[in-house]
Amino acid sequence: MPQITEIAKTGSQRELEMYFGPQHLGMVGNFSITLKVEGDRILKATANPGYLHRGFEKLMEYRTWIQNFPIVCRINLVEPDHMEMIYAMGVEKLAGIEVPERADYVRSIYLELARVGSHLFGLWAYANMLGFDTVAQWAMYHRDLVLDLFEELTGGRVYHIYIWPGGVRRDFPKGFKDKIVKTLHSIGGCVPDYDDTFFNNRLFYDRAHGIGKLSQEQAKSLGAVGQVLRATGMKYDIRRVEPYAAYDKVPWDVPTREDGDAYSRIWVVRDEMIESVHMIFKLLDAMPEGSVYNRIPNPFKWKIPPGEAYVRCESSRGELGLYMVSNGEDKPYRVHFRTPSYSHGLTILEKVLESESVADVGNIMISLYVVAPEIDR
Amino acid sequence: MLRGYGKPGKATKKTKIMDRNQITKWLKSPDKMARKYSLHVVYFCTGCGIIEIPPTITARWDAERFGIIPVATPRQANLFLITGYVSVKTLRAIIRTYEQMPEPKYVIGFGSCPINGGMYWDSYNTIKHLDKYIPVDGWIAGCMPRPEAIIVSVTHLWTLIDKEMANGYLRYKKNYTAYRRNQEMVLGTLEWPPVYQESGNGDQESG
Amino acid sequence: MSSSLKDKLQSMFNNVQVSVLEETRMAVSVPPGSAFAVLRYLRDSGFDHLALVSCVDWQEEGEIEVVYILTSYMENNTEYAPEQKLHLFLKTKVQRDKPELKSVIDIFQNAEPYEREIHELFGVHFEGHPRLIPLFLEREYKIPPFRKDFDTRKYVKDTFDSIPLVED
């Protein structure tokens, strides 16, 4: 519940300071915003992160390179797979390890499935916020079908720990390709229902059009990446700009929109989900045979030569980067994650919330696709 | 001879009759039965474990069959699920939320992190043992526990409520000085005054 | 393109060391006084995306190194020229006992939370920053937590394990 802490009467205006705090029905994740409000209009917004800070980067300096894999996937809990991928990419770059070709395809399919699951989670949160509860239940159910696939492949529903430096942990089990195709067909067959109920709905347009508008110049100067930037018209996608894994081997498209408001951002999410599903079918057809990992010598006593590296990949929220420094030991010297929710949730949120209405705060926050643990790490 | 049970190993018509004990239980203590089967959960996403709560409350593992629904404010809730690790800043919000809930209230710690620190046992910003600060009635182990584990733990809580063993809130009132001292040791000064009297016989909160 | 950029930087500023790590990554080391000017020059030559402001603590040499990672967005909305794939690591080293640096918020607006985080976790003071208050942490620490001489396991043992259980 918002707590009203001070009421100031200055002239003919009346200002209130409200906490849109962590225990709130409109907040997804443990994050809080302090709003300075005049009537229904927001004058100033301040983000208060820090409820989820664990000091990850310090903890990772106390564990060896291999022991960091189970802990690194817990930074972003909605989509832990890109965290494993970026850490493995950084380690492979510093140590000079090559990845076999089949492993590239397996990694791409795995990451695209994770992207579909993460977008469905975002759709649950957003549809709940706007009041479309039916669509929220459908999205969560379809995400559970995707998590069933992950459970068969890796053994865990949420945290998988499947990517290993030099490839992936194990190959697809027998009959897995047919299961993927069947699940994706059952999800894809419901897209007309989603469109009729939510995306083409006049109410969605009324509630989200023009809210949280961001022009391309503003987005570039505030450090926006991901859907926030693609909804303003720029085709900036790391899978196209600096291809990794098997993304340059199949043809696919980067969806964009022109307006830059909440409506465009959610439409970009929907288009990306459909593009990911098509990409998985193409990758499954083009996948070669072979082994899925290259052995690393003695992983428990493994030292990496000194150096530094900056690698990046495209998570479902934007550009995810990792700056890694090694000084020749068996533990990392400095690890720093550049997460997309950092600039979205701290700089852009405060800018976009000025002169918006209090009723739209949850709407804007979820359309900016912020995940709170990514900010605090 | 117990009514409602046939000979062991053989299913007879009598096993299909409704369990007579339920009727006696409802007649004897209707408030306990009603409270047990309609636990309202405070909607507060405290940590990692929030990722398995939406599957539990939506259509696939429908928790509303068991009477569990999330509510907006702690004043309407009587179950608090502490999902995942607790950082120092969150502990302040958790204590305040817990004290706002009306009695009787129950707390379940979710995941390995509130039990003994879990994966972040050497982090400078997380709480290692949650039951030093608020009373906890049950734990669920796992990282993350499955939605079935959540529902099973609620049924265990029903058994505890039946046997009058889920009395965390009474322990909180009885040992309030010790809890408050621990809270002040880890959080510094607290912005709210002590909610119960110093002696063990405190009334409902005065704040 | 990277060699022409290297020549331009070395001709315009003093004490600049440029090393090419690989085809798309270049490291530029500057003294702390000229970091602001070099950053403004780089922003004007097309590097308009500040990806990260990071910090490394070199305890044995007694220096803290602040790293700015720069790259560029697309110039038109559909194509990305090969020269635009270059990443620059702009590094400055400051003294560990008295780390001070000028804030770069006037050049890049999104550097504000990065500098706040480096201030509370490493202890570096940024002049000209409008609000250098803690971002994540709630308590006071004698040594900033991410420095190498802060032993986090000993801190946990002293602070959290010393709190007694509540007996029933």
Q: Cα torsion at A141, A146, A152, A158 (round to 10°)?
A: -80
- At B198 the pLDDT is 60
Is some CB atom of chain C closer than 8 A to the CB atom of A243? no
Contacts of C152 in chain A (CB under 8 A): 55, 58-59, 62
Q: Which of A58, A221, A308 sits opposite C152 (nearest CB)?
A: A58
**Mean pLDDT in residue range B105-112:** 90
Structure tokens at A293: 């990992």
Q: Cβ separation of B45 and A54 shorter than 8 Å?
A: no
DSSP C161: T
Q: What is the pLDDT of residue B26?
A: 83
Cβ atoms within 10 A of the Cβ of B109, count?
Answer: 26
List of domains in chain A? 2-48 (no CATH), 56-376 (1.10.645.10)
Nearest-angstrom CA–CA distance, A137 and A55: 35
Which chains have at least 3 CB atom pairs separated by less than 8 Å from chain C?
Answer: A, B
Nearest CA-CA distance, residue A374 and chain B, Å: 11
Higher pLDDT, A2 or A377: A377
Q: Cβ-count burial of B72 within 10 angstroms (0-12 exposed, 13-18 middle, 19+ buried)?
A: middle
Cβ <8 Å between C137 and A336: no
Residue A326 CA to residue A303 CA, distance in Å, equals: 9
Which of A82, A66, A148 has its CA nearest to residue A115?
Answer: A82
Output the pTM of the full model.
0.89
Residue B4: per-residue pLDDT: 43
Block residue for tokens 């809270």: B183
Closest chain B residue by Cα to residue A1: B73
Residue C138 near residue A48 (C-beta atoms within 8 A): no
Which one of C139, C141, C166 has the shortest CB-CB distance to B178?
A: C166
Out of A70, A121, A157, the one facing B146 most closely (by C-beta) is A157
B45 contacts B53 by C-beta, under 8 angstroms: yes
Domains, chain C, in order of start with CATH, read 2-160 (3.30.460.80)
What lies within 8 Å, CB to CB, of A97 at 6+ separation is A91, A165, A166, A294, A296
Q: List subunits contacting chain A, requiring 3 or more Cβ pairs under 8 Å.
A: B, C
Task: Single out the residue of C38, C68, C56, C138 nearest to residue C99, CA to CA.
Answer: C56
Q: What pLDDT score was predicted for residue A112?
A: 93
**Across the interface, which of A59, A235, A346 has its CB nearest the CB of C113?**
A346
Judged by CB atoms closer than 8 Å, whether chains meet at A325 and C146 is answered as no
- Looking at beta carbons, which residues of chain A come within 8 Å of C108? 221, 223
Task: Using CB atoms, pick whichever of B89, B127, B135 lies closest to residue C138.
Answer: B89
Question: Could you read off the pLDDT of A127-136 as tens digits, one per residue?
Answer: 988 888 999 9
Tell me how far CA of residue B71 lies from CA of B52, B78, B101, C103, in angstroms. 17, 10, 12, 45
Nearest to A54 among B52, B55, B87 (CB): B87
Helix or strand or coil: residue C92? strand
Q: pLDDT of A315-336, one tens digit each?
A: 999 899 999 999 888 889 999 9
C92-125 per-residue burial string, b: 16 or more CB within 10 A, e: under 16: bbbebeebebbbbbebbbbbbbbbbbbbbbbbbe
Question: What gap in Å lies between CA A242 and CA A244, rounded to an integer?
Answer: 7
More confident residue, B80 or B197: B80
CA distance A265 to C3: 39
Reply yes or no on whether the pLDDT at A4 is more than 50.
Answer: no
This complex has an ipTM of 0.89
pLDDT per position as a tens digit, B118-153: 888 888 888 888 888 989 988 988 888 889 999 899
Q: For residue range B24-38, list pLDDT tens digits in order.
A: 888 888 888 888 888
Predicted pLDDT of residue B206? 44
Query: What pLDDT score was predicted for residue A267?
Result: 92
Residue in chain C nearest B188 by alpha carbon: C139
- Identify the chains in contact with B, defined as 3+ C-beta pairs within 8 A: A, C
Query: C164 to chain B, minimum CA–CA distance in Å?
Result: 7
Q: List CB contacts of C63: < 8 A, sequence separation 6 or more.
A: C93, C94, C95, C96
pLDDT computed for residue B12 by the predictor: 54
Residue in A closest to C116 by C-alpha: A346
Q: Which site among B86, B95, B124 would you substitute to test the C interface, given the most C Cβ atoms closer than 10 Å to its Cβ?
A: B124
Q: In this complex, which of A28, A51, A55 lies closest to B90 when CB atoms are compared? A: A51
Q: Which residues of B touch A136 (CB under 8 A)?
A: 58
Inter-chain touch B93–A51, beta carbons under 8 Å: yes
Q: Number of Cβ pairs closer than 8 Å across B and C?
A: 46
Quick one: CATH architecture of B28-164? 3-Layer(aba) Sandwich (3.40)
Residue B36: strand, helix, or coil: helix
Measured between beta carbons, which residues in chain C are less than 8 angstroms from residue A58?
145-146, 150, 152
Is the model's pLDDT at B187 over the cut of 50? Answer: yes
What are A339-349's pLDDT values in tens digits? 998 988 898 98
pLDDT: is A374 or B204 the higher one? A374
Q: Do B72 and A25 touch (CB under 8 A)?
A: yes
Residue B5 scores a pLDDT above 60: no
**What is the per-residue pLDDT across C33-52, written as a single tens digit (0 to 9) for each?**
888 888 888 888 888 889 89
Would strands A167-168 and A163-164 be described as parallel, antiparallel, or unpaired? antiparallel
Q: Which residues of C touch A (CB under 8 A)?
A: 21, 24-25, 27, 48-52, 54-57, 67, 69, 73-74, 77-78, 80, 85, 87, 89, 108-110, 112-114, 134-138, 145-146, 150, 152-153
DSSP result, C20-70: EEETTEEEEE--GGGHHHHHHHHHHTT--EEEEEEEEEETTTTEEEEEEEE
- Over residues B152-169, the pLDDT tens digits come to 999 999 888 888 888 888
Q: What is the sign of the dihedral through the CA atoms of A183, A188, A189 and A191?
A: positive
Q: What are phi and psi of A85, to 5 degrees?
A: -65, -45
Percentage of chain A beyond pLDDT 90 is: 32
Using CA atoms of A248, A249, A252, A255 in order, give the dihedral in degrees to the nearest 10: -20
DSSP assignment letter at A288: P
Contacts of B72 in chain A (CB under 8 A): 1, 25
Closest Cβ–Cβ partner in B45, B60, B120 for A30: B45
